[in-house]
Structure 1
């Protein structure tokens, strides 16, 4: 596995993702709560906790699961009880990250399209309740996964690695649970984000045309519109985040649909269907990449975030220079 081309790709890709994603998300967690980036408290709340969950995805799924599995296959993390717990944490953190993206998209939809509801919904208290609910439900939903695994090997009375029990595939209760997992993540979030963005785009186009006509009659065509400029920045941020989510999760969604609906199997007779496994792992690779991409979106779309990031990078350099000058 390690010597094969795909093994080499995995062995290089996951450490790179961790090396980029951990400091990038930490930078967001440190910079945004300071409130110097010109974003509302609602947007800041969602973006900070999205960065927290993305960081947890990288720690649990990329570092503890993939990297440790590749470089330290016989560590204590490979013991079946620990392995089962790690799997639960991986799926719970991924669910939190995905559904917080949905929550952020819905919050921006309300802020842009539902002016009457905006004052009641777009508040810090609502953000806290939504984030707490999403995290709690994600943990509860995935707790049952702990019981679907059994040891792959038993050596000196110690259970090693995680193998899914055969009952998971044949028991009606477990089959129903598997369908619930697939529908809730990633199928439903994918549909909701597409739908909310489509409705938001339609509203923005209609509102922009109406506002331009109104300003043309009242104050002339060439004057700038501060309200539209402010709204444009919020919209660009929303569409970049949700667009990257859709692009980087579409392959994984396609794989799940093929497995669940198209009855594509990972096994062909007694041999493993390697192409399907590679396709699924490629989907996960792109999904993990989405946990690194948001900080770069903020840097690309928010000039004040860039400025804060530059100041953060310059600060330790100034300290080093002062240290040498002394």
Structure 2
């Protein structure tokens, strides 16, 4: 890929997830640090997130968890976070860490990769918003929760949010294409000049509003309503109230983690054209903030473990069951091996006896 090329990759300022051209011709220490952060920070982050989200799904499937609307949102969020990490491992990590972009390999990858990734990211963000709104209704509006907060409605809401996220990013399917750079003869996934102004000036603002401003505003308002209600109703009367409180605290932790991890990258991506920094330093800061944003898809398991008492109990029970099954399996294998060893020893002894008689 050519350095300082006029043709910007789709990862350029067009989208907050992609880089500009592959600037490897400099020995800038800051650039090396930002690239090394991705090289050595992403693999443990991705593996931790995938293992954690898998454990979340396994715990939510246990009999100790009743199928509620909250569990539907948590399951959808775990699946969405896992898909984000897996797709980003192919689409974002090689480019950020090593300068090799998957979108530049074929026309199909150019048309499909970024729409799929952004659809899953946007859907995951709005899953958090929907979960927060659901908790607000459960805590604050007791008369509405039985009618609105049902697993069926939660499933329909998640499906609708996924469709809306796809519609929001459908333009990425059609406006990108592979173009051969005249300077380097490399194929680059880029945006045509006729759409360049829209993707450079208008789409970042649309992303900022739909993925940052509105979700953050809804989350903050709902969290304020939840916290004020919980502070007013401190006395717990039933076990059901305790479960609702623990689930609500889990929701608060997830929503605040979203604000801390996701909002800075969106804000900086909007203000960076007017920020008094060099383009290289802006790109370095954005790289680090993007890695922080992806960390939001890997930390939920730890937040659930710290804030959810029932989640911790079911997680411990899951580990104990796995250990028990492992012991049973090891015992069966040991008995089987002893039988096989005994059978082989008997055969060898029988053969030796027959050879001695024949002699």
- What's the TM-score, normalizing by structure 2? 0.74
State the 1:168 CA deviation: 3.5
Count residues in correspondence: 301
- CA pair 177-252 structure 1, distance change in 2 beyond 3 A: closer
- CA pair 182-78 structure 1, distance change in 2 beyond 3 A: farther
- CA pair 176-313 structure 1, distance change in 2 beyond 3 A: same
Q: Deviations over 1:281-301 (max 9, x none)?
A: 222111111111111222232
Asked if the contact 1:79–1:161 (Cα under 8 Å) also holds between the matched residues in 2, the reply is no
Structure 1 position 206 matched with structure 2 position 213:
no
Counterpart selection for 1:299 from 283, 305, 317: 305
* Greater displacement, 301-310 / 193-202: 301-310
State the 1:11 CA deviation: 1.0
State the 1:28 CA deviation: 1.9
- Aligned mates of 1:22, 1:291 — CA distance in 2: 9
- What's the TM-score, normalizing by structure 1? 0.81
Structure 1 position 144 matched with structure 2 position 171:
yes
Larger radius of gyration between Structure 1 and Structure 2: 2
Asked if the contact 1:148–1:168 (Cα under 8 Å) also holds between the matched residues in 2, the reply is yes
- CA pair 312-13 structure 1, distance change in 2 beyond 3 A: farther
- CA pair 167-131 structure 1, distance change in 2 beyond 3 A: same
State the 1:159 CA deviation: 7.2
- CA pair 89-75 structure 1, distance change in 2 beyond 3 A: closer
Counterpart selection for 2:211 from 168, 182, 185: 185
Unaligned runs of 5+ in 1: 213-223
Counterpart selection for 1:66 from 92, 99, 105: 92
State the 1:227 CA deviation: 5.4
Unaligned runs of 5+ in 2: 1-23, 337-359
Q: Which residue of 2 aligns with 1:26?
A: 54
Q: Which residue of 2 aligns with 1:11?
A: 39
Asked if the contact 1:96–1:138 (Cα under 8 Å) also holds between the matched residues in 2, the reply is yes
Structure 1 position 135 matched with structure 2 position 162:
yes
- Aligned mates of 2:219, 2:35 — CA distance in 1: 34
- CA pair 141-161 structure 1, distance change in 2 beyond 3 A: same
Q: Any idea what SS the aligned residue of 2:265 has? A: helix
Q: Which residue of 1 aligns with 2:282?
A: 276
